[in-house]
Amino acid sequence: MARRKSLTRDLDVLLADTVFWVAMTWRDDQHHQRAMAWDKWLNREGVRVVTTEAVLWEWLNAVADPETRVIAAAGYREVHEELGITVVPFRQRRNAEAFELYAARRDKAWSLTDCLSFVVMGEMDIAAALTSDRHFLQAGFRALLLEDPPQ
């Protein structure tokens, strides 16, 4: 076990981005299979997951159609109740930092939700996100839905 930790220590705590939650919701999503593989790995390894309230709201907005609305609402409640998932709430100071990052990076197409995720990842020393969003790569983080989970 110690060997696994040394090889994957940057995977001890991961941020779950909107892309992950959408992929988990929709079976026909292009990232569904990889998201499911990562979810299986997370559960097997007992990895702690962090997400933000902003990410969850973005997810709910993305799956608001009548076919997935009930499933997404139940999933939102489950995420908040799951002991292995920390939902970082909106906080005025953190929101202001995210906005400052958003305003300062005029050369990027980062969303405000992405900027908030980057702030949280910096605060919590999280190196990788469950996402395929290349903006995370630009910000210096790993985007794990572009990779297969460790064996």
Q: Is residue 122 part of a domain?
A: yes
> What is the distance between the alpha carbons of residues 23 and 90, in angstroms, rounded to a whole number?
24
- Which residues pair with residue 128 across a beta bridge? 142
pLDDT at residue 2 is higher than 90: no
- The single-letter DSSP state of residue 11 is G
Q: Is residue 151 part of a domain?
A: no
All residues at 6 or more sequence positions from 138 whose CB lies less than 8 Å from its CB, including other chains: 108, 110
Q: Is residue 150 part of a domain?
A: no
- In the chain, the number of structural domains is 1
Q: How is residue 108 written in tokens?
A: 């990027």
Domain that holds residue 117: 2-144
Give the pTM. 0.91
Q: Is residue 149 part of a domain?
A: no
Q: Is residue 100 part of a domain?
A: yes
User: Which burial class, exposed, middle or buried, applies to 64 when counting CB atoms under 10 A from its CB (0-12, 13-18, 19+)?
Assistant: exposed
Q: Is residue 75 part of a domain?
A: yes
Q: What is the CATH number for 48?
A: 3.40.50.1010
> What is the distance between the alpha carbons of residues 142 and 151, in angstroms, rounded to a whole number?
18
Left (φ > 0), alpha (ψ -120 to 50) or beta: where does 50 sit?
beta
pLDDT at position 9: 60
Mean pLDDT over 114-132 rounds to 98
- Which residues pair with residue 86 across a beta bridge? 50
Torsion over CA: 59, 9, 147, 95 (sign): positive
pLDDT at position 3: 32
Q: What is the pLDDT of residues 3-37, one digit of tens each?
A: 333 345 678 999 999 999 999 999 999 999 999 99
How many angstroms from the chain centroid is the CA of residue 134? Answer: 13
pLDDT at residue 75 is higher than 80: yes
